A and B are shown apart, each in its own frame.
Chain A
């Protein structure tokens, strides 16, 4: 946080309310812009992204007063072999304003990204990528976003002079808030509209007056204006939890968002949300949905999807019965190795298991069908921007991952489907691994598409035994071939031994994938030693974004060994 305060102090002194573009030299502005262009060329290679890249560069060029360079930048963003970004970083490091660090650029980009009231997932991925290129902690982005949110929710109407003085004092106390406010003032009014679905509409209406005068507030205050706010901030108004199905896909019985409680002090509104989806239920109680995700800290605003509880419970019970009563541990072990050794195609399932097939097959079939429908419903929800205009990360295991797969597949067939989903993390997915289907998905996901699989998952193989999927196979069992290296295949065989272990080992899995989890859980896991060897393998993926996150895990390991020495 120290570095932060220093930077905010510095920016306050040097920039005051001045625009960053004015403080950079021509070389600096060119480097900044070229860096973004090069990053875009690394991130988005599909023809479908050409328009976005141009829009994005237009905003950046306009901001940096380099409009004449737009065609050049566009060419840089579309070239097949990306240029070396480090050259620009070195050039930027020579800039006087950036002496304290590159955080200012990250903040500047963030404010640009939300300047038109829509926070596109691709913008966020770009910002994260640039942050990685600068060698900064990715949490920097989260912190800046929180500043923006804080700033917006603290803008209550200031009426009397005394209150203004008080407000000014409050701001002085909190430098980080001020940091954000300086930027906000320069970006202007557009930013406040349509930013989040999480900010209560009346609050924003009130906040507006203190920044951009009364004209827009006047418009919003009227009856028609309320509708505008409603459309911009998402139909749910305050939060996704209020979401109601308007249009039902198939015969879905249950589809609701619930807040995943996080005990952070940062509040529960953010510019980026995470939706997690569980695969099955073991108990009837509410916590059985959220329990596996207890340590997830991907975003301050996290939801879980409650869907088709009765069927998921039925499947969960059947699974429990299957494992605890029917199949002995020895049989399970032997099956695991049979699956691993690759004798799968001609596997002879033990008669005992086959006899029990009827217990599991029916609930499984029902859940598979329903989860596909729920996926389509989720696609409808996201496409309607019920969550506001902000990026969403989807994480799910087992049937939950199937929901995500069908959601993305549905979205990929629609218009304006891009820029909504930031990352999609699918763990042990019961769905095809047909690469052309998966490649369509990578087109609409801005950031990471992760297929985490377990080679020894005999249970999943068993469930799919009757289906003729030999040609393509199941995604939850092996890697998905990707034409465009956009799919990250992560082997979890060393962490989990089968399907039923996904919920218990979820924290560990998430860590392995590179998703933020609670620090206490990290330390706990490292001390009990369950970090797989594969951790280092993951590092070699040439993706700043991934490497960065894994690094923080390693740092913790170091801290922890030190601690042990003391003891």
Chain B
């Protein structure tokens, strides 16, 4: 492995069908936006390097399919994820209300108990059905990070991933080798109580 890379993180993208998970990812990895992006089949994988606070991090991004017919397959990929991006569509209230089920599913299947979660309200370029305050309230309730983005206009996309990665890096028990993990975790639990939020 490249010695300059600190670690490789596994990041999941989760959310209802059509909220723009794949578009968000495309914007982040290739800086492109495709209006009629095809439906994701099962799961898509993308790789990107990112530099956060002078640390080179490799991101393994798993973009899961939101469609009902793939629901039995996708939890398979939650395992060992260090970060999860839960996406909803601000112009579609449905996608926001069912976020609850997605977050439950994530908690059930993820193997890392302290996985860093981030709620992302996508498509802010469109007419809103879900207010920013509602999103923040949800994020606070579930102790997650929160950000609003638009894959189309690029707004907030990079920052979302950057924030998520920063948070993971600040939780060394998530990514450091097992032998030191136990030592670190003790200190880490204290900082857990003073969760920092990122309101953008």
CB within 8 Å of B: which residues of A? 25-27, 29-31, 34, 66, 68-69, 71-72, 75-76, 81, 83-84, 87-88, 90-91
Contacts and interface: CB of A to CB of B under 8 A. Distances in A.
Nearest to A84: B76
Given A81-B80, A83-B76, A83-B77, A71 B45 contact: yes
Contacts of A25: 69
A69 B42 contact: yes
B80 A27 contact: no
A30 B41 CA distance: 7
A34 B45 contact: no
Contact of A30 (B45, B60, B73): B73
Nearest to B42: A30
B144 to A, nearest CB: 25
B104 interface: no
Contacts of B45: 71-72, 75-76
A88 B77 CA distance: 12
A87 B44 contact: no
Interface in B32-82: 41-46, 60, 69-70, 72-73, 75-77, 79-80
Contacts of A29: 41
Given A75-B60, A87-B72, A27 B42 contact: yes
The binding surface of chain A is classed by DSSP as helix
Contact of A27 (B69, B77, B79): B69
B41 A88 contact: no
Contacts of B60: 75
A72 B43 contact: yes
A66 B43 CA distance: 12
A34 B73 contact: yes
Nearest to B72: A91
A69 B41 contact: yes
A69 B22 CA distance: 13
26 contacts: A26-B41, A26-B69, A27-B70, A27-B73, A30-B41, A30-B42, A31-B73, A34-B42, A34-B43, A66-B41, A69-B42, A69-B44, A71-B46, A72-B43, A72-B45, A75-B60, A76-B45, A81-B80, A83-B76, A83-B77, A83-B79, A87-B72, A87-B73, A87-B76, A90-B72, A91-B73
A88 to B, nearest CB: 7
Nearest to A27: B69
A87 B70 CA distance: 11
A331 B70 CA distance: 68
Contacts of A72: 42-45
Given A31-B73, A34-B43, A81-B80, 5 more contacts: A30-B42, A69-B41, A71-B46, A75-B60, A91-B73
A84 B73 CA distance: 10
A491 B13 CA distance: 48
B80 A88 contact: no
Contacts of B42: 27, 30-31, 34, 69, 72
A140 to B, nearest CB: 25
Nearest to A34: B42
A22 to B, nearest CB: 16
B10 to A, nearest CB: 9
Nearest to B77: A83
A31 B42 CA distance: 8
Contacts of A91: 72-73
Contacts of B79: 81, 83
A397 B28 CA distance: 59
A486 B184 CA distance: 34
Nearest to A75: B45
Contacts of B46: 71
B47 to A, nearest CB: 8
A71 to B, nearest CB: 6
Nearest to B43: A72
Contacts of A30: 41-42, 70, 73
B182 to A, nearest CB: 20
Nearest to A88: B73
Contacts of A87: 72-73, 75-76
Contacts of A75: 45, 60
A87 B42 CA distance: 12
A127 B8 CA distance: 32
Contacts of B76: 83-84, 87
Contacts of B69: 25-27
A248 B94 CA distance: 76
Nearest to A29: B41
B66 to A, nearest CB: 13
Contacts of B77: 83
Nearest to A28: B69
A84 B76 CA distance: 6
Interface string B75-92: 111011000000000000
A480 B144 CA distance: 50
A120 B42 CA distance: 29
A357 B4 CA distance: 61
B96 to A, nearest CB: 26
Contacts of A34: 42-43, 73
Contacts of A90: 72
A30 B79 CA distance: 19
Nearest to A80: B80
A81 B111 CA distance: 13
